[in-house]
Amino acid sequence: MTTVSAPSQSYGTSVTGEATQTPRINEQALKTELAKRGFESISIKRELPGGRIEIEANKIHPVHVEAGESIFAPVPVRFSVELDARGGVKSIEGGTPTPAAVADAARLIKMLRDNGQLAAAGEQEPISGVTHRIERDEQGRLVLRRNASRSVRIP
């Protein structure tokens, strides 16, 4: 269950019958804080026992491709977050991409290049068939990004 509200306190009862105090979730503030930590496409799944929040997201992670080159790509991760009394992130458990997920991202980059669907950093974009691009982010990293949807005309 996800409760969306301004940061405040909620009170409940523990399994032993004691009153408990857990922070309520300000979904937008939580997503903003997680974005600062390299997560994007954040989906809050559910509240876990003990007050943790289960989250699925993409983590911008280095993916080693041809010739030792690293491209940062969004890689799916699952993790849980513990919130402090004010609703801020107290701790994150998990959130590291699995080796299989990183390997999938490397295969995706290779397939996009092999099929002419990937525009390199600085390359002009109106190339037919290009679905993704590599761009430099504010930290100077080369990051894989999907182009905005384009309508496709089928003859």
pLDDT of the chain, 155 residues: tens digit per residue: 433 333 333 333 333 444 444 456 788 889 999 999 989 999 999 988 887 999 999 999 999 987 777 899 999 999 999 988 888 899 999 999 999 999 999 999 999 989 989 888 777 655 678 899 999 888 888 999 998 755 444 44
> What are the C-alpha distances in Å from 26 to residues 15, 20, 86, 154?
25, 19, 10, 44
Per-residue model confidence (pLDDT) at position 147: 86
Domain assignment of residue 118, yes or no: yes
Per-residue model confidence (pLDDT) at position 122: 72
Per-residue model confidence (pLDDT) at position 87: 82
Total number of domains constituting the chain: 1
Domain assignment of residue 32, yes or no: yes
Per-residue model confidence (pLDDT) at position 97: 96
Per 3-state DSSP, the chain is made up of helix, strand and coil in percentages (nearest 5) of: 20, 40, 40
Domain assignment of residue 125, yes or no: yes
Q: Quote the domain boundaries for residue 128.
A: 21-146
Is there a contact between 33 and 12 (Cβ–Cβ < 8 Å)?
no
- CA dihedral sign, ordered 116, 98, 74, 2: positive
Per-residue model confidence (pLDDT) at position 8: 36
- Backbone φ and ψ for 4, nearest 5 degrees, come out as -105, 120
Q: Rounded to two decimals, what is the model's pTM? A: 0.72
Domain assignment of residue 31, yes or no: yes
Picking from 33, 36, 38, the residue whose alpha carbon sits closest to that of residue 81 is 33
Domain assignment of residue 109, yes or no: yes
Domain assignment of residue 9, yes or no: no
Per-residue model confidence (pLDDT) at position 107: 94
Domain assignment of residue 16, yes or no: no
Task: Report the C-alpha gap between 56 and 2 in whole angstroms.
Answer: 14
Is there a contact between 71 and 121 (Cβ–Cβ < 8 Å)?
no
Per-residue model confidence (pLDDT) at position 124: 65
Domain assignment of residue 11, yes or no: no
